[in-house]
A and B are shown apart, each in its own frame.
Chain A
Amino acid sequence: MKKLMIGNEAVARGLYEAGCRVVSSYPGTPSTEVTEFAATYDDIYCEWAPNEKVAMEVAAGAAIAGARSFCGMKHVGLNVAADPLYTASYTGVNAGMVIVVADDPGMHSSQNEQDSRHHAMASKVMMLEPSDSAECLEYAKKAFELSEKFDTPVILRLTTRIAHSRSLVETGERTELELKEYVKDPQKYVMMPAMAKKRHIVVEDRIQAQVKWAESSELNTVEYNDTRIGVIASGICYSYAKEALGDKASYLKLGCVYPLPVDLIKAFAAKCDKVYVVEELDDFIETHCRKNGIDVIGKDVFTLQGEYSQSLIAKVILGEEKPTLSTDIAIPGRPPVLCPGCPHRGLFYALKKLKVTVSGDIGCYTLGAMEPLGMLDTCICMGASVSALHGRNKADGSNAKKSVAVIGDSTFIHSGITGLINIAYNKSDSVVIVLDNSITGMTGHQQNPTTGYTIKGDPTSAVSLEKLAAAVGINRVAVVDPYDLKTTEETIKAELEAEGPSLVISRRPCALLKYVKHNPPLTVDADKCIGCKMCMKIGCPAISIKDGKSCIDFTQCVGCGVCTQLCKFDAITSKEGK
């Protein structure tokens, strides 16, 4: 029977069926579940790597050793892994190597909206793009075949709506493959100038061969209906266009988005009166068409921003809009917030009292930027909090006594360590705070090198942040419990005043972890509450004001007691007394 799977689960099933043996990834929405589902198959060795660069190098090593391998990441993760990608393109593979990169048009959970197709072109690596979960499975298998056929890594590009939409998938059996023999070949695998010059020629020849393949590949399909409108699309945009236009248009669906065919597109365009390129984000296919003298309509009528939809396409191409209902009430926004009981809340409140500038990073704690905490000054990319704080303090030494960096445990391992080494090595007076919640939080609770467990839940060694700091030359290390507001504030204050760099570890497990026991919900004694709103300053979604008094939502409160410490009138108590 067919099964309903999100695209990521279907990719994982494809890896399994294709005989993939080694998977190494770093979590990142919307790519994370590919690796989580792959880890449910005992026939695949699976791991969380410290970052995407390591993951891609692990996959490259495994492929060269003769095992079909995989690594998965979100779009910005491919920037981190770009270094090995661009040269693995030169070495090629031995057994197949497949990479998932998941773009996030509309930025549901990302800091930018980059279009990873540019990476495929720049690294000269073939890229496929499925349009539903069934194709996720099929293309994952096909990607391994193409990887071996053309001796190249192959990228499978997903977008959020493909990665996280469920559709029906027919599963098959696993093909068990022997390890391919590894033959020592420095001319192919040792990339230094003399060898790399020759390999670059191989790469360019490979692209030409792939273009020829793309002209007649079964992944690039043509469907002729009414030829007054022609649509060139790939991935989710193909599905949107089909729903919006149905038989009113003809379609060229590109399953392979790099390299792109030329003659196939020319022949399609010649048969249609008007040809639209429907692609989210950049004008990647459109530019290719124009470069080859094919007249198409693209970003002059479609946006460069956000996600597309069937209604956007119907509006732009057909000028049609559906009737809607509306109300005249003003609807306040509902931005995401730190969860009730989140350990980051207490830490940010302490920082707010200290009035410091905060160099921020990527994770749940980025939400500390939102009101009423409003405590982030910058957020750029993974690890940037630590390095950018150092830059800030070197630019103006007076910043050092009133600035900190905040970074999560997983993000710190990913790329904060190198920044911390830079702080020690280049003698900056910087205070770095690791928000150690014992898990990779935002992406949905993945293990990491600090947690002591592997992706399969097996116990393993754990990085000691305290010892690591000492080993790189940070002599001042302090550990605080962010639920204890007073000690947290005093400790950070002392480290800001002290000479030399410090590492503060704000340690308390994520409140959503299953093993974390919650206290009974707190309640407000209406007789004692004077409605001063002190407890509202921490931005807890469980607390609101009803009839001038604080009120705690029993369905949300986990009894963390942070608000209790703010109440000067002892009005907040647990039901059991206090």
Chain B
Amino acid sequence: MSVKSIMIVGVGGQGTLLASRLLGSVLVTKGFDVKVSEVHGMSQRGGSVVTYVKYGDKVSSPIIEKGEADLILAFEQLEAARWLGFLNPKGKIIVNTQTIDPMPVVIGKAEYPKGVLEALKKSGADITEIDALSMAVEAGSAKAVNVVLIGSMAKHMDIPYEVWQDAIKETVPPKFLEMNLKAFDLGYNG
């Protein structure tokens, strides 16, 4: 199989790393060659963060470049717009409708752009919107946004529901398991 490229983009602290790790471990159980690239350190402190997941028969580079991503999972609207150029024009972008003001906006040095979702659609991108925050709250915690989004991504991948469930069971502490499984289900079926 030729290499598939998935980008997970968001704001430091939203749990993008967990999402990429979970995706990576699911793909390994399916027998693919997998590479996942993460960024640790200063960028994690509320900055724009991106992780790359690539899989196929043989993956060389662990990173994804402009025009290459088959799927972008965006945890936040502005980050979806920031990384749009990395989407293969034939690819798909899933956008959490949540917005988080970056510091230049907070302090009034810049404006959060209006009509981000409309602009994404106008670009010609195949876009799916999801209100993951509301679903996470419904599942039991605003912190489960990442698992809701994994669910919404899983729906677009050719991997059985149960494989994802097993991966969540292995990754999440037992006391949060039920809540996370519900969050995944809301993302998958919502």
- With both beta carbons as reference points, the residue of chain A lying nearest to B103 in the complex is identified as A337
Chain A interface mostly helix, strand, loop or mixed? loop
Closest-CB distance, B34 to chain A (whole angstroms): 6
- CB pair A108 B42 closer than 8 Å: yes
Q: How far is it, in angstroms, between the C-alpha of A243 and the C-alpha of B3 when the chains are bound?
A: 10
Q: Which residues of A contact B43 (CB under 8 A)?
A: 108-109, 336
User: Does A166 lie within 8 Å of B107, measured CB to CB?
Assistant: no
Find residues 99-128 in chain B having any chain A CB closer than 8 Å to their own CB.
100-113, 115-116, 119-120, 122-125
Residues in chain B near residue A166, CB distance under 8 A: 21, 24, 34-38, 62
Contact among B21, B102, B107 for A333, CB-based, below 8 A = B102
B12 is an interface residue with CB less than 8 A from chain A = yes
Cβ of A164 under 8 Å from chain B: yes
Is B131's beta carbon under 8 Å from chain A? no
CB neighbours of A533 from chain B (8 A): 108
Task: From A160, A332, A533, name the one whose CB has the most chain B CB atoms within 10 angstroms.
Answer: A332
Q: Is A544 an interface residue when CB atoms closer than 8 A count as contact?
A: yes
**Interface flag for B30 (CB, 8 Å):** no
With A29-B41, A325-B125 known to touch, is A332 a contact of B104 (CB < 8 Å)? Answer: yes
Pair B65/A327 contact, Cβ less than 8 Å? no
Would you call A338 an interface residue if the criterion is a C-beta within 8 Å of the partner chain's C-beta atoms?
Answer: yes
Check if B28 is an interface residue, CB within 8 A of chain A. yes
Contacts of A322 in B (CB 8 A): 65-68, 88
Whether A164 pairs with B38 at a CB distance below 8 angstroms is yes
Enumerate chain A residues within 8 angstroms of B142, measured Cβ to Cβ. Answer: 554-555
Query: Given the complex, which residues of B lie within 8 Å of A236, measured CB to CB?
Result: 61-62
The answer to whether A336 and B119 touch (CB under 8 A), given A161-B37, A322-B65, A541-B106, is: no
The minimal Cβ–Cβ distance linking B166 to chain A, given in whole angstroms, is 15
- Min CB distance B60 to A, Å, is 4
Give per-residue flags for A326-337: 1 if the beta carbon is below 8 A from chain B beta carbons, else 0: 111111111111
Q: How far is the CA of A533 from the CA of B34 in the complex (A)?
A: 48
Interface string of B23-48 (1 = CB under 8 A from A): 01100100001111111111111111
Contact A30 B65, beta carbon cutoff 8 Å: no
Point out the residues of chain B lying under 8 angstroms from A109, CB to CB: 40-43
* A336 and B45 in contact, given A166-B34, A328-B119 (Cβ under 8 angstroms): yes
**Which residue of chain B is the closest to A1 with respect to CB atoms?**
B28
Contacting chain B: which of A13-21, A291-299, A363-371?
A363-371
Question: Is A331's CB under 8 angstroms from B113's CB?
Answer: yes
CB distance from A548 to the nearest CB of B (A): 12
Tell me how far the C-beta of A10 lies from the nearest C-beta in chain B, rounded to whole angstroms: 13
Question: Which of B79-87, B147-155, B157-165, B179-187 lies at the binding interface?
Answer: B79-87
B107 touches A536 (CB 8 A): yes
Q: Is there contact, CB below 8 Å, between A553 and B89? A: no
Known interface pairs A333-B102, A334-B102. Does A168 touch B33 (Cβ–Cβ under 8 Å)? yes
- Distance in angstroms from A239 CB to nearest chain B CB is 5
Chain B residues whose C-beta falls within 8 Å of the C-beta of A259 in the assembled complex:
none
Kindly state the separation between the CA atoms of A333 and B48 in the bound complex, as whole angstroms.
8
B100 contacts A444, C-beta separation under 8 Å: no
Shortest C-beta distance, A171 to chain B (Å), equals: 14
- Please state if A239 and B102 are interface contacts (CB–CB under 8 Å): no
List B residues at the A interface (Cβ < 8 Å): 11-13, 21, 24-25, 28, 33-48, 59-63, 65-68, 78-79, 81-82, 84-89, 100-113, 115-116, 119-120, 122-125, 133, 142-143
Query: Other CB < 8 Å A-B pairs besides A335-B104, A555-B143, 8 of them?
Result: A4-B24, A165-B36, A168-B33, A326-B84, A327-B123, A331-B113, A337-B45, A372-B103
